[in-house]
Amino acid sequence: MNKSRASEIASSPVMANVTYQGVPIYIQQVDEQTETARIYPLNEPENEQSVPLDLLEEHEE
């Protein structure tokens, strides 16, 4: 995923269908300098992690 789209999703009030390694996730914030995103699985909000943006995948709804 490119960083501008990831930033759009992170700042949008509308929930996007994004996965990380096949798991639906929520993007909390995007670090454009390191090209990483702070995410957590939708079913495990306590399991926050930073991951490379290119490993995030957006799916059409």
- Reported as a single tens digit per residue, the pLDDT across 22-59 is 999 999 999 999 999 999 999 999 999 999 999 999 99
Q: Is the pLDDT confidence value at 60 over 90?
A: no
Full strand arrangement of the beta sheet holding 56-58: 49-52, 36-41, 23-31, 18-20, 56-58
Q: Are 58 and 17 in contact (CB under 8 A)?
A: yes
54 secondary structure, DSSP code: G
Phi, psi (deg, nearest 5) at residue 8: -60, -45
Q: Is the pLDDT confidence value at 61 over 80?
A: no
The runs of H, that is alpha helices, within the chain are: 3-11
| pTM of structure | 0.90
* pLDDT computed for residue 13 by the predictor: 92
Q: Are 42 and 24 in contact (CB under 8 A)?
A: yes
